[in-house]
Amino acid sequence: MLRRWLPAPLTGALTFVLLSCALLTAFALFLPVGLVKALVPSAAGRAFIARNGLDPIASYVWWGLNRLVFLLLHGPRRDIRIEGELDRARSWLVIANHQSWSDIPILLDVFGRRIPFFRFFIKKQMQWVPVIGFAAWALDMPFMRRHSQAAVAARPELRLQDLEATRRACAKFRRIPVTVVNFVEGTRFTPAKRAARGAPFRHLLRPKAAGLSFALNAMGDQLAGIIDVTVCYAPGPRSRLWGFLCGDQRNIRVRARVLPVPADLVDGDYQEDAAFRARFQDWVNALWARKDAEIEALLAEFRAAG
């Protein structure tokens, strides 16, 4: 592991450069296959290309190069605990808290080829980002508009746009095993956002349950389970993303547990059935209360370790 001999800023810069090279290398293979997929008229044909072309490039080439960079510059990730069995041949729904842009590479590194390649719910603006936007489109990731609360209050129909995008994407995912990742808070956590939104948690924003409900409704019978993930960073002077790039892996802890799909929360109508909506929100809020307590305990461990 080179980090032992390199200063942290150089490790961070080198990690960023090498991860960028890994992304471009994978994209060079990804682009022609994605274009072929776009030209195939049948849904079954597009699913075949996704499963046998795009997914292997993402899972083996891109992930493999990223993994090599992490092992070379950072060493193996140590503080990870996963409760439950995983299966790469089945589909999963990952729900996680969101604190930093480094959450995504951490999740990819932790789960790697243990489960199918990730599909994220991502902001609509990301479709115009070079390389990333095309890859997300080719992998059928749902682009979410993330309307403000004021805009939704003025035009309630806007809320349905994201829900319909979720429904369409999950319908495509029924053809191949995938891992759908939902950062349920909808955005990265900050104390200012928590205060502005009146979240009842210390370390989390209020969870947004509607998209999660639609994902379960569309994929419930396909899912092997739900993977509930908590990512916790030690307080420190560096930003979480820069600290991650610089190799502060000892200051990152990941806890995950495999949950069964709640059968009574799969088939309800979240939009129209008030009783079902309340029951679903109670379930999500209970998960978030547990996660908040888990983060507090992990932070206490960091403080005790100095």
CATH of the domain at 295: 3.40.1130
Read off the pLDDT of residues 268-284 as tens digits, 9 standing for 90 and up: 888 888 999 999 999 99
Other beta carbons less than 10 A from residue 83's beta carbon:
11
Helix segments in the chain, DSSP class H: 8-39, 43-49, 55-56, 63-73, 103-111, 132-138, 149-154, 158-173, 191-197, 209-219, 240-245, 274-305
pLDDT confidence of residue 209: 87
Under-70 pLDDT residues of the chain: 1-3, 145-163, 165, 237-238, 306
Range of the domain at 151: 78-305
Residue 106 lies in a domain: yes
pLDDT confidence of residue 174: 77
Structure tokens at 236: 């420190």
Residue 203 lies in a domain: yes
Give CA–CA dist 231/100, Å, rounded. Answer: 10
pLDDT confidence of residue 285: 95
Residue 62 lies in a domain: no
Enumerate the β-bridge partners of residue 232: 253
Instruction: Give the count of domains, the chain.
Output: 1
Residue 219 lies in a domain: yes
Residue 44 lies in a domain: no
pLDDT confidence of residue 154: 66
Residue type at 68 in one-letter notation: L
Instruction: Give Dmax over CA atoms of the chain in angstroms.
Output: 60
pLDDT confidence of residue 248: 80
Q: What is the DSSP string of 258-303?
A: EE---GGGTSS-TTT-HHHHHHHHHHHHHHHHHHHHHHHHHHHHHH
pLDDT confidence of residue 8: 85
Residue 154 lies in a domain: yes
The owner of tokens 């305990």 is 297
Residue 153 lies in a domain: yes
Residue 25 lies in a domain: no
